[in-house]
Amino acid sequence: MLILLSSHIKADPTLKAALEMQKKMQKVAQNSIPKCVLVGGGTGFFISPRDILTNEHIVRGNDEWEVSVYSGEILEGRVIGRDTQGDLALLRVESSVAFSYFSLGDSDRLRAGEWVMAIGNAFLLAKEVSSMAVSLGIVSATNRNQERYHNLIQTDVALNPGNSGGPLVNLKGELVGLNSLIASRFQDRQNSGVGYAISSRQIQNFLPLLQKQRGKRKIFHGTISGAKFLDLENKEGVLVEKTSLFQKKLQPGDIIWEIDGFSVYNMKQLQGRLWLYPAFCEVHCKILRGDKKKEVTLKLVPFYN
């Protein structure tokens, strides 16, 4: 019987490909779950040997939290950095163990239809990390803006209460997002087939600030000072309608069509792209001024909301 089954697999390339894909997914799950933790009413994961990343709303209200790791041990975790605007928080645990952690993938390379996997404590059913739930799906879209979040990854991976703060990984096992938001029906907070994750690009840009914040000044996301923008009809790019005395590198009538190598088609994309950068960062923009293409470098100012 086994010989016949083996022969059938070899003869059917579709079945063989499906089984190979299954093995790959199982390997990603087995390697990813030990890097996750239980914290608060949600999930977190190691982003360095002793640093844990999660949603800020998961650890809001306290700086000290019990963190359950894969071995079953419960450690004391302390919040060392908070980005309340971007809903990211970083905890540090004191331990003689150097925990395995996720490497960052490039969320800018994600495309619709790409397979991704979420790991988390859905509905808080897992009492230990080893029994966390794994969900599989695809990237539905990128650069989505929802509520106070911007430039999110939209996915059809099943996300439910308790998944917040958990990793979204690609089939290489790389972290491409942090699961943060559920599009629910009738406010029942259950999965409706649409979930959102903070991109690894945002994580990469803000992680250094979280690591050295230690209760100091608030972290702000960046925006372009003193300028008002308009969408263009039947044309790509964003029109600079007016500027202020403080913004001398842009002029009314300029059209911004690229930021740091990424095309900007409308105001939502402009807002989403800028959201990925902390205040006081510099971004390189390509603009059209009249019939001439120019490049300008803009220093972002804090976005207040």
As given in the structure block, the two tokens for residue 161 are: 């209460």
Q: Is 7 a catalytic residue?
A: no
> What are the φ and ψ backbone dihedral angles of 61, each rounded to 5 degrees?
100, -25
Q: Is 180 a catalytic residue?
A: no
* Residue of 164, 180, 199, 200 marked active site: 164
* Residue of 87, 140, 180, 254 marked active site: 87
Residues 6+ apart with CB under 8 A from 245: 226
Q: Is 87 a catalytic residue?
A: yes
Cα distance between residue 61 and residue 45, in whole Å: 20
SS (HEC) of the chain: CHHHHHHHHHHCHHHHHHHHHHHHHHHHHHHHHHHEEEECCEEEEECCCCEEEECHHHCCCCCEEEEECCCCCEEEEEEEEEECCCCEEEEEECCCCCCCCCCECCHHHCCCCCEEEEEECHHHCCCCHHHCEEEEEEEEEEEEEECCEEEEEEECCCCCCCCCCCEEECCCCCEEEEEEEEEECCCCCCEEEEEEEEEHHHHHHHHHHHHHHCCCCCCCEEECCCCEEEECCCCCCEEEEECCCCCCCCCCCCEEEEECCEECCCHHHHHHHHHCCECCCEEEEEEEECCEEEEEEEECEECCC
Give the residue numbers marked as catalytic: 57, 87, 164
